[in-house]
Amino acid sequence: MTQINPEEFIVTDFAVREHRSLWGDAWRRLISSNTARLGMFVVILFISSATLSHFFWEYEPKKDLDYSLKLKAPNLTVTEEIPSIHPFGTDKLGRDIFRRVVHGGWNSLRVGIVAVGISLIFGGVIGLLTGFYETITMTTVERITLFGISGFLLGSLSAWIANQPLQLVGFTLLGLVAGYFEGFWAGQLKRVVFFSVLGILISAVPALFAGSSVALVCGVLGLLTGIFLALALDGRFFSNVMMRIMDMILSFPGYLLAIAIVAFLGPGLGKGMIAIGVVGIPVYARLTRSAVLSVVNKEYILAAQSVGESHGRIIFRHITPNILSPIIVQTTMGLANAILSAAALGFLGLGAIPPEPEWGAMLGDSYRYLTSGAWWAVLFPGLAIMLSVLGFNLLGDGLRDALDPKLRT
């Protein structure tokens, strides 16, 4: 019997789990789910039909008009009465609904991407910064920048009331100064008094030109701004201010706010996109912030700090990749939401301007003819909205399951 000498004993190389990247794993899980595959199919169909038709199938909505073909039912063969094929029928101006539905897809796609882009960029950055500085101490440069922004945001309110852009500049400067002098006069009380007086001066003096009552209101606002800036010289303050602003936006009903913004900016698809985007900002900000907060307390963030990595590097290398999953899911769902919102605005006549093909507007144009039996004019744009929204939602659900970190050990 041979005895193995412990000294010579070589361990078989450590059994490591199979080499797979996390994203690869997620992809494999995604395509193994039937609902996700269905969602992906619908989404790809939607995107490709919209893009291809926009670039390769010319359509000029302003010239598309033929009263002789008014409200014809769908036909798949050419007859004497109807010399062309209209698989989805025609609408009240004799326009081919199939053509308009396909081209309307481009508009919906645009709205979705631009609106979600606006929400994602603004909301994401706000969420990232507020979540990060909630727990991590700022460096001087960062403090100055962020307090400058806080001052700007706080000042814009009183500047708006008094209609004096000078105040905006003044408050921004105040924020910068407050950020720089962290240990200014050591005692907090002195600092508070100093900054509140400064706030009143910046705010009330220019407002005096507008009238004494305005000066009073602005003075109070200035006082509060000064106190805020002086009292809480940390990231938590910045985070608080930002999130309360988000709460304010969120406290309006979404559609009403979008309608209000469009009413303010004037109708048009582009303005609709902005409105829908702005309404979505707080959703993304909150989501990002909570995702950041769950990551920022992990030990690997501490490890990165102890190695001496800068805050920017930590945000980009350590935090961003780890919060992507919920954001990807939300973005996918958000696209569906934006398409729906755009359709709602269009239906109310606040989105796309009439001859432009847009699903909501098409519905709004045609629902009156439903009583006269023209079901096709309503059914097909409605189906298009439903299918595209369903597709994005199914895909979003699939992504959520695929990216769920709970499945991982």
Please report, as ranges, the residues that interact with other proteins according to CB under 8 A.
Answer: 1-4, 6, 9, 11-22, 137, 139-140, 231-232, 234, 236-237, 240, 298-300, 302-310, 313, 317-318, 321-322, 408-409
* C-alpha span between 144 and 169 (Å, rounded): 15
State which residue, 60 or 299, has the beta carbon closest to other proteins.
299
Amino acid at 174: L
User: What's the closest the beta carbon of residue 366 comes to other proteins, in angstroms?
Assistant: 49
**C-beta closer to other proteins: residue 21 or 213:** 21
**Residue (of 37, 121, 42) closest to 336 by Cα position:** 42
Beta carbon of residue 386, minimum distance to other proteins (angstroms, whole number): 33
Nearest approach, Cβ of residue 2 and other proteins (Å): 7
In angstroms, give the least distance from the CB of 408 to other proteins.
6
Work out how close the CB of 179 gets to other proteins at its nearest, in angstroms, rounded to a whole number.
15
Q: How far is CA 2 from the centre of its chain?
A: 70
Cβ nearer to other proteins, comparing 213 with 409 = 409
Token duo for residue 32: 């193994």
- Given a contact cutoff of 8 angstroms between Cβ atoms, the answer to whether 311 and 147 are in contact is no
**Beta carbon nearer to other proteins, 216 or 302:** 302
Nearer to other proteins (CB atom), residue 173 or residue 224: 224
**Closer of 64 and 309 to other proteins (Cβ):** 309
The nearer residue to other proteins, 4 or 76, going by C-beta atoms, is: 4
- Give me the amino acid identity at 336: A
Supply the minimum distance, in Å, between the C-beta of residue 302 and other proteins. 6
Helix residue ranges per DSSP H, 119-265 = 124-135, 140-162, 165-180, 188-208, 212-231, 235-250, 254-265
φ and ψ at 75, to 5 degrees? -140, 145
Nearest to 333 by CA among 259, 254, 400: 400
Around 80, how many Cα atoms within 13 Å sit in the side-chain half-sphere?
0
- For residues 37 and 110, which CB has a smaller minimum distance to other proteins in the complex? 37
- Residue type present at position 403: L
**In the complex, what is the shortest distance from the CB of residue 5 to other proteins, in angstroms, rounded to a whole number?**
8
Q: Which residues pair with 86 in a beta bridge?
A: 75
- Based on the number of CB atoms within 10 Å of its own CB, is 333 exposed (0-12), middle (13-18) or buried (19 or more)? buried
Give the shortest CB-23-to-other proteins separation in angstroms.
Answer: 9
The closest alpha carbon to 112, from 257, 289, 280, 247, belongs to 280
Q: Rank residues 232 and 353 by Cβ distance to other proteins and give the closer one.
A: 232
Rounded to the nearest whole angstrom, what is the least distance from the CB of residue 321 to other proteins in the complex? 4
| Of 234, 133, 228, the residue nearest 183 (C-alpha) | 234
Contact 329, 399 (CB under 8 A): yes
- C-alpha 389/C-alpha 116 separation (Å) is 14
